[in-house]
Amino acid sequence: MTETMAESLTADEIENVRVVVRVRPLDKIEEESNCENIVRCDIITRSIIVHKPNTPGPPKCYYFDNVFGENSSQIDLYVDTARPIVDKVLEGYNGTILAYGQTGTGKTYTMSGNPDSLQTKGIIPNTFAHIFGHIAKAKDNQKFLVRVSYMEIYNEEVRDLLAKDHNKNLEVKERADIGVFVKDLSGYVVHNADDLDNIMKLGNKNRVVGATKMNVESSRSHAIFSITVESSEMDMTGAQHVKMGKLQLVDLAGSERQSKTQATGIRLKEATKINLSLSVLGNVISALVDGKSTHIPYRNSKLTRLLQDSLGGNSKTVMCATISPADSNYVETISTLRYASRAKSIQNRTHINEEPKDALLRHFQEEIAALKKQLEDGLFDPGSGEELDDIENEEDVDIEDEENDDDEKKDKRKKNNKEKADAEKELLEKKALENEQELNKTKTEQEQLRAKLKSLETKILVGGENLLEKAQAQEKLLENSIAELEMREKTEEMLRETLQKKETERIDIEERYSTLQEENIGKTKKLQRVMQMLMAAKEELSDQQQEHQREKESIYDSIRSLSRELALCELVLNSYIPKEYQSMIEQHTHWNEDIGEWQLKCVAYTGNNMRKHVPEKKISAKESEFVDLSHVYLSYNTESVSNAVRSKSAVRPRTSGVPRPTTLVKKY
């Protein structure tokens, strides 16, 4: 995979994606409909045990890096799962926290939580308190710059949740020096934890919320909240060293199959696309863990392009899979656990991002130094004063000469002098006015410079400054929980060891049979256990077959709906474009693997573009036909053509001034 940040001075660290699972409590509806709790969370062995409803067979067991039961607190989850990642981001590593799971299982609760109380705040607000708590404790030779952006991917379109126009579709781009990025995505520099809190709330308000039958509050979009922390430290020689860590906090859309949500119409179309990006995410995970794949299909969806570094790249990543304990969700729960299990094997290579090309901190610091110099230089301006002195001296000389002349000459000279003096006075007054204006202009310029300097200086945070304000209590809560968690982890580790010892002892006892009968009993037990394992394996196999069948059916569904779209496009094409032009278009189009779109070669030399450059040239009937068609070629995008047909505005003649589809034009 490509190196996206500046060359690292240290060797890459290789580590697996960490996967934790969180089970939420049974909700009101599940309780009222007498749903059975079929999930058990074993904290000691860090496993999730799921009983298949109405089946006597052995339960399924999945092991993870950690598991959180229905009574787990937000703080516990933060301290174990997010805190280590945020600590690394503050050191200059990239970090990603992903919430994956069925709608209504607690992804948004885990990521954002309920902001009303300290205990119920989710990972995102807790990171704010953590980051600014760290800055408050840092040394004062360290400078920080914290900026955020918030976007969502909805229907394979990227939207800026913090922009004024949050419905605009943004482009995903890639550059060799900084990697994949979203063009024109707004970034806000934040000064304290409360700023961040307000920005998160604003973005959440702008999220697309689809009321599906499963959960009225559920979102059908993937939301990515990014926090970039840049830090600079001065070494002994006075040189500044900049590091940059980027934290991506991702609340994915529901992973369930569309039939369960009973989505229809537009919702069905959305669901196909949501499932598309999630299934590409699944394919990326499969390709990464399989070890044999040479091609990882990151480019097949916007989500996977943006998460390219998080999965298999330069990022410390943790996935939090959320599940429901209810028997009614058994199939989705197992599917989530399998998905999460696979993700455990993804390996990432991470390093500190040193002297990154897209860091703003150095740029701001340089600008501050330049502004300060400019202000110092502008504080005294000797030019105007000198000019005034010169004129005064000149007048003195004239008065001395005057005493030596006769009366007539004197009068004439007097008159002349008076006129001269008047003119000079006028000039002087004009100059004085100009000087005053100049002075005022300089003053306002200096004020502007000072304001700019102040605004730049407030952007840069100095280590040791307390910027927590209201978030102080949150940071304290986090701090206190660390010690508590360490204690708990020690106890759990001890219990784990004891359990392991007992297990080996049990096996030892079984091995030492004193009589044939004992041996018989022991071996029968062993046989029973092996039989149980065989049954479980068979059950797993049949479950997997069923899941594959369901997946196959959903793929067939997508194929059917795509075929319908294709038939419509063909109809439009055949109705408006003659056959010979169709084959010409085919000859001149190519698939751009980088952006996942069809492109027309030499589009700059066709149609409206040509007309724009040579307005005086008369266009022949044949050319005119070609120009008309070029508009159609440019719209050759299944989505835009079919949408346009539905809105009855498609393929109008060129002369009507229909604007060109901008997405294609921009690329040429």
CB of 104 to ligand ADP, least distance (A): 5
Asked if residue 217 binds ligand ADP (CB under 6 A), the reply is yes
Q: Looking at beta carbons only, is 209 or 483 nearer to Mg ion?
A: 209
Applying CB under 6 A, the span of 21-29, 292-300, 308-316, 643-651 interacting with ligand ADP comes to 21-29
Least Cβ distance, residue 108 to ligand ADP (angstroms)? 3
Region near ligand ADP per CB under 6 A, out of 79-87, 105-113, 200-208, 227-235: 105-113
Taking CB under 6 A as the rule, which mask of x and - marks residues 320-339 in contact with ligand ADP?
--x-----------------
* Contact range with ligand ADP by CB under 6 A, out of 24-32, 171-179, 599-607, 649-657: 24-32
108 is a site residue for Mg ion (CB under 5 A): yes
For ligand ADP, the binding residues in 287-326 under the rule CB under 6 A are 322
8 A C-beta contact, residue 547 and residue 335: yes
User: DSSP letter at 81?
Assistant: I
- Residues 26-55, mask of contacts with ligand ADP (x by CB under 6 A): -x----------------------------
3-state secondary structure of 8: coil
In the complex, minimum distance from the CB of residue 251 to Mg ion, in angstroms, rounded to a whole number: 6
- Nearest to ligand ADP of 22, 60 (CB atom): 22
- Residues 242 and 326 sit within 8 Å (Cβ to Cβ): no
What is the smallest separation between the CB atom of 221 and ligand ADP, expressed in angstroms? Answer: 11
Choose one: 212-220, 356-364, 531-539, 656-664; the region binding ligand ADP (CB under 6 A).
212-220
Total residues in contact with ligand ADP, by rule CB under 6 A: 16
DSSP string, 44-73: TTTEEEEPPTT--SPPEEEE-SEEE-TT--
Among 69, 92, 95, 106, binds ligand ADP (CB under 6 A): 106
Stretch that binds Mg ion, among 108-116, 182-190, 371-379, 507-515 (CB under 5 A): 108-116
User: Distance of CA 89 to CAs 134, 144, 462, 558, Å?
Assistant: 11, 13, 18, 40
Shortest Å, Cβ 287 to ligand ADP: 26
**C-alpha to C-alpha distance for 343 and 288, rounded to whole angstroms:** 9
Nearer to Mg ion by Cβ, of 150 and 298: the residue is 150
For the bound state, the minimum distance from the C-beta of residue 475 to ligand ADP, rounded and expressed in Å, comes to 22
Q: How many residues bind Mg ion (CB under 5 A)?
A: 3
215 binds ligand ADP (CB under 6 A): yes
Q: Given the rule CB under 6 A, which of 99-107, 130-138, 406-414, 455-463 is the region that contacts ligand ADP?
A: 99-107
Work out what residue 133 binds among ligand ADP, Mg ion, none; the CB cut-off runs from 5 to 8 Å by kind: none
Of 147 and 257, the one with the shorter C-beta distance to ligand ADP is 257
Which of 25/58 has CB closer to ligand ADP? 25
H-helix or E-strand spanning residue 554: helix 516-576
Partner whose binding site includes residue 143, from Mg ion, ligand ADP, none (CB under 5 to 8 Å by kind): none
| 24 belongs to the binding site for ligand ADP (CB under 6 A) | yes
From CA 540, how far away is CA 530, in angstroms rounded? 15
Residues 202-261 that bind Mg ion (CB under 5 A): 219
Tell me the C-alpha distance between 327 and 54, whole Å: 9
Number of CB atoms found within 10 A of residue 163's CB:
18
Question: In this structure, what token pair is assigned to residue 524?
Answer: 């029968």
9 contact partners, CB below 8 Å, separation of at least 6: 352, 354
Rounded to the nearest 10 degrees, what angle do helices 407-459 and 361-378 cross at?
A: 160
Binding partner of residue 84 among ligand ADP, Mg ion, none, CB cut-off 5 to 8 Å per kind: none
CB of 102 to ligand ADP, least distance (A): 7
> 394-413: which residues touch ligand ADP (CB under 6 A)?
none
Buried b (16+ CB within 10 A) or exposed e, 367-396: ebeebeeeeeeeeeeeeeeeeeeeeeeeee
Q: How far is the CB of 324 from ligand ADP (least distance, A)?
A: 9
Compute the least distance from the CB of residue 319 to ligand ADP, in Å.
14
Question: Which tokens go with 231?
Answer: 């830090």
Task: Kindly state the tokens that stand for 463.
Answer: 């280590």
Instruction: Give me the sign of the Cα torsion angle 291, 295, 300, 306.
Output: positive
Smallest gap from residue 451 Cβ to Mg ion (A): 41
Buried b (16+ CB within 10 A) or exposed e, 312-327: bbbbbbbbbbbbbbbb
Report the distance separating Cα 582 and Cα 573, nearest Å: 8
**Contact assessment for residue 88 and residue 575, using Cβ atoms and an 8 Å cutoff:** no
State how far the alpha carbon of 516 is from the alpha carbons of 75, 153, 512, 525, in Å: 56, 67, 11, 14
Nearer to ligand ADP, 73 or 455 (CB): 73
**CB proximity list for 452: less than 8 A, separation 6 or greater:** 371
Tokens coding 260: 């369960």
> Residues near 332 by Cβ (< 8 Å), separated by ≥ 6?
102, 255, 256, 257, 260, 323, 324
Please report how close the Cβ of residue 534 comes to ligand ADP at its closest, in angstroms.
36
> Distance (Å, rounded) from C-alpha 224 to C-alpha 248?
6
Closest residue to Mg ion, Cβ-based?
A: 108
Task: Identify the residue among 94, 105, 204, 333 touching ligand ADP (CB under 6 A).
Answer: 105
Query: Binder to ligand ADP among 103, 204, 258, 308 (CB under 6 A)?
Result: 103
- Cβ(197)–Cβ(116) under 8 Å? no
| Smallest gap from residue 605 Cβ to ligand ADP (A) | 50
* Residue closer to ligand ADP, measured from CB, 109 or 633: 109
Residues found near Mg ion in the complex (CB under 5 A): 107-108, 219
Residues found near ligand ADP in the complex (CB under 6 A): 24-25, 27, 101, 103-109, 215, 217-218, 254, 322
